[in-house]
Amino acid sequence: MLLSLADFAPVVACVLFAAAFLPIPEHPKGVMMFKRRIWLATVAAVLALPAVALAQTLPLPQQTVQATSGPEHCSVTAAGPHFGVATGHTTLDYGGGTSCAGAPIEWKQLTVWVQVHNLTLNRWFNVSGTELASSGWGNLQAVSAFNDTPGHAYRITAHAFLEEPNGYAGCSLKGPWGCYQPVNVSATTMVAVAP
């Protein structure tokens, strides 16, 4: 995996934070040393927070699709393929996410996978071992990488299954799931050829 500046920010933050609380020998400028410690702790916090946020960022390019039926405030995003170089071979970074703005969504399920194009059959196939799955009530996101094959065409597909209240009176008489309707949303990125 190729390391970036963001990968080192947590280490720098920990060193600065630790330095802020090292014991100070008696010093005539004790107040100034205390201010320096506060400054170091602040810098450490500023460096650590963006690094945590960057670790959860979806790769570019991205394709987002809004739900056309059911909750139009829900969407799914397919991210990637983004090619990088790590220890002599290329990698493909990919991911996906789903979110609903202010929606009373009961359950979300996100599935993301890499697809490769077969020239002979002129069809897309899911790449074995690349499926990412996540489920829950909040916004969902999944990110990963795998070793690609140079010259192959790839795309990323993300699918969200959402359950929203259907608003029918007496729906609970139909059982625990009688009050919800399923909504399916899919997004697929543009095709990219591995270098």
Ranges under pLDDT 50 in the chain: 1-8, 16, 46-56
Which of 89, 37, 80 has its CA nearest to residue 62?
A: 80
Q: For residue 74, what pLDDT is reported?
A: 86
For the chain, the average pLDDT equals 76
Q: Cα–chain-centroid distance for residue 115?
A: 18
Q: For residue 53, what pLDDT is reported?
A: 37
Q: For residue 11, what pLDDT is reported?
A: 55
Rounded Cα–Cα distance for residues 146 and 159 (Å): 20
Q: What is the pTM of this model?
A: 0.66
Rounded Cα–Cα distance for residues 75 and 160 (Å): 8
| Number of other residues whose CB lies within 10 A of the CB of residue 95 | 24
Q: For residue 87, what pLDDT is reported?
A: 79
Check if the beta carbon of residue 155 is closer than 8 Å to that of residue 124.
yes
Q: For residue 32, what pLDDT is reported?
A: 54
Q: What is the pLDDT of residues 165-178, one digit of tens each?
A: 777 777 767 666 67
Q: For residue 90, what pLDDT is reported?
A: 86
| Number of other residues whose CB lies within 10 A of the CB of residue 161 | 17
